[in-house]
């Protein structure tokens, strides 16, 4: 199964990539045993029965920045930090295990079923105990309101993704207030992901109007419905504390609080070593060695489900507006060299990611890439009229000089430096520009203030929902296609794919989509994260989760 439904963007690869020290391309004798670049069917979270955990405790985690918008359905709230805050607080319809197998999240729904195919209908039966944090019941109207907001009909709702609600004809009351029946006007293959993975159910007060959707969650989140809720937000200190939800009807959480603190990446491992936070992702051999030598720290690993990439800006007037130029540049980038430089010593066999849709090890993964061929890249640029003039190519008096924009973190810079060297060999000048995490997407990436950009996508076990979000080109509905690259042919192929209810046929079509994305020079996947996580050794049911969802009521510290 593939990863990604509501695809979350990350300025940094979450709990996966940190500082990259010089010399990390040495031998891989320190790679954690069994570490590969492929997702498997296990995770590493120190599983323990809750009877072995002590009551209370504070789980301390790091953020890059406080949310721009606490509405994770909004384009400004569609990031990994915000998602990590929302998961303990908002409903999702399905849980996943380490193999990405789905089961209904019975805390919120007693049943979720595909009840008809012509027309397609899905029936959600809500747990009768489920209430929002003010005590009001979760009802079919919350589902109806969210479906309307995400339908794309009213462009005033600044949505991150339609998540299939653009294909919904209506949402009706079922047998009572606690049941919703969704009827589709066009088939939707990933119907299970509409309120699951990284897509949360919000109360109708948040989704009823564009004003509420866009602005009601700017400073804080209002109603929630999880085992935890926001206890305090300290903007001066960059800290959010989650405490128990007194209206929670499910199992009582073992932890008292979860504390999220804004920390620069370079400060995270020292904070772990100084007993200021409880978990941090590792990327360099030096970090791995330092964490291993720290008393009270355990290394947990499961291949990560987020992946870094190199996105081209193909907007009209951009130096990379020509697809042929983008494709030629992509052929000149040595992604194996990048994977080796970044991940040797962290995984046993570093490999680049060669698919935009599926991760390595997942059913459906194929290498659809165009390959590394700098000689062909040079010939293609010559044919397009970009001729060498000294060290840099020119055409019509314009130099082939591009700005590579990224979060200010060593790992991104190191990747960019390798790409910079690759492109210099074919007469393309790459200038590296780093930006702070705060406002990175809102102020830089969404407006298209880059020629190429680097960030990561974080996914979940739903394979098709994000195809239109990222790769569909809809000039009036940006969603996640920040490079503004696409074609009517690709749009049609995406539509065919996400309408296919036969899983095997959908896999074939999805790989056709992937090949077309490569051929358009939309973006270039680099690698998926290694998934090495350093955690407090007495922390249970938390660590390297892989594709599994956490049960926040069962995370805690050993007695």
**Helix H or strand E segment including 262:** strand 257-262
pLDDT digits (tens, 9 = 90+) for 161-209: 888 999 999 999 999 999 999 999 999 999 999 999 878 999 999 999 9
Q: Round to whole Å and give the CA distance between 39 and 3.
A: 10
Model pLDDT, residue 460: 66
Average pLDDT on 126-132 reads: 98
DSSP code, position 186:
S
Helix (H) or strand (E) holding 255: none
CA pair distance 175, 194, nearest whole angstrom = 21
Other C-beta atoms lying within 10 Å of the C-beta of residue 298: 17
Check if 70-83+93-216 and 227-302+532-557 are the same fold: no
Return the pLDDT at 8: 54
Residue 397 CB burial class (10 angstroms; 0-12, 13-18, ≥19)? exposed
Residue 201 backbone phi and psi in degrees, to 5: -90, 125
Residue 17 to residues 11, 238, 343, 414, Cα–Cα distance (Å): 11, 22, 9, 12
Q: Which of 439, 494, 503 is nearest to 466 (CA)?
A: 494
Q: Which tens digit of pLDDT belongs to each residue from 33-81?
A: 545 544 555 789 999 999 999 999 999 999 989 999 999 999 899 888 8
Q: What is the pLDDT of residues 262-306, one digit of tens each?
A: 998 889 999 999 999 999 988 677 889 999 999 999 999 887 778
Q: What angle do CA 83, 160, 10 make, to 5 degrees?
A: 45
In CATH terms, 227-302+532-557 corresponds, of 3.40.190.10, 3.90.1150.10, 3.50.50.60, 1.20.120.330, to 3.40.190.10
Beta bridge partners of 131: 137
Quick one: CATH architecture of 306-528?
Answer: Roll (3.10)
- Tell me whether the omega of the peptide bond preceding residue 119 falls within 30 degrees of 0, making it cis: yes
* CATH class of the domain defined by 70-83+93-216: alpha beta
Amino acid 31: pLDDT: 57
Question: How far apart are alpha carbons 37 and 547 in whole angstroms?
Answer: 14
Where do the structural domains in the chain lie, given as residue ranges? 70-83+93-216, 227-302+532-557, 306-528
Reported as a single tens digit per residue, the pLDDT across 432-482 is 999 988 888 889 999 999 999 999 887 667 878 889 889 999 888 777 899
């Amino acid at each position: 199964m593939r990863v990604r439904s509501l695809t979350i963007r990350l300025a940094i690869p979450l709990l996966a990539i940190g500082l990259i020290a010089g010399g990390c391309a040495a031998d891989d004798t320190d790679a954690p045993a069994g570490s590969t670049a492929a997702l498997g069917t296990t995770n590493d979270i120190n599983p323990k029965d809750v009877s072995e955990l002590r009551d209370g405790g504070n789980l301390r985690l790091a953020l890059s920045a406080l949310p721009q918008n606490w509405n994770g359905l909004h384009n400004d709230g569609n990031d990994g930090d915000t998602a990590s805050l929302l998961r303990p607080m908002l409903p999702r319809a399905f849980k996943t295990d380490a193999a990405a197998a789905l089961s209904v999240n019975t805390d919120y729904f007693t049943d979720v079923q595909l009840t008809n195919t012509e027309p397609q209908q899905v029936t959600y039966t809500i747990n009768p105990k489920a209430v929002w944090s003010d005590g009001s019941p979760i009802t079919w109207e919350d589902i109806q309101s969210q479906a309307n907001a995400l339908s794309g009909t009213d462009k005033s709702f600044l949505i991150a993704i339609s998540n299939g609600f653009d294909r919904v004809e209506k949402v009706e009351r079922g047998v009572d207030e606690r049941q919703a029946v969704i009827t589709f006007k066009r088939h939707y293959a990933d119907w299970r992901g509409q309120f699951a993975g990284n897509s949360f159910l919000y109360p109708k007060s948040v989704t009823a109007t564009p004003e509420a959707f866009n602005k009601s969650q700017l400073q804080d989140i209002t109603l929630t419905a999880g085992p935890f809720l926001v206890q305090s937000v300290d903007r001066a200190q960059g800290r959010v504390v989650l405490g128990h939800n007194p209206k929670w009807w499910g199992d009582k959480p073992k932890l008292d609080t979860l504390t999220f603190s804004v920390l620069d990446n370079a400060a995270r491992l020292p904070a772990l070593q100084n007993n200021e936070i409880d978990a941090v992702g590792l990327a360099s051999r030096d970090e791995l060695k330092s964490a291993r030598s720290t008393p009270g720290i355990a290394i947990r690993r499961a291949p990560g489900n987020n992946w870094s990439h190199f996105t081209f800006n193909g907007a009209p007037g951009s130096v990379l507006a020509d697809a042929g130029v983008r494709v030629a540049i992509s052929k000149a980038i040595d992604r194996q060299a990048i994977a080796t430089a970044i991940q040797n010593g962290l995984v046993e066999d570093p490999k680049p990611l060669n698919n935009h849709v599926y991760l390595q090890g997942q059913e459906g993964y194929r290498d659809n890439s165009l390959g590394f061929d700098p000689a062909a890249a040079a010939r293609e640029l010559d044919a397009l009229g970009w001729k060498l003039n000294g060290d840099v190519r020119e055409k019509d008096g314009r130099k082939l000089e591009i700005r590579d924009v990224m979060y200010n973190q060593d790992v991104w810079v190191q990747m960019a430096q390798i790409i910079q060297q690759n492109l210099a060999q074919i007469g393309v000048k790459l200038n590296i520009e780093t930006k702070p995490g705060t406002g990175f997407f809102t102020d830089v990436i969404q407006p298209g203030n880059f020629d190429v950009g680097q960030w990561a996508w974080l996914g979940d076990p739903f394979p098709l929902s994000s195809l239109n979000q990222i790769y569909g080109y809809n000039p009036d509905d940006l969603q996640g296609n920040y490079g503004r690259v696409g074609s009517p042919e690709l749009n049609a192929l995406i539509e065919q794919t996400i309408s296919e209810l036969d899983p095997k046929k959908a896999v074939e079509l999805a790989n056709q989509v992937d090949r077309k994305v490569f051929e358009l020079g939309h973006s270039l996947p680099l690698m998926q994260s290694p998934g090495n996580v350093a955690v407090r050794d007495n922390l249970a049911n938390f660590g390297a989760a892989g594709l599994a969802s956490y049960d926040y009521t069962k995370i805690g510290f050993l007695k």
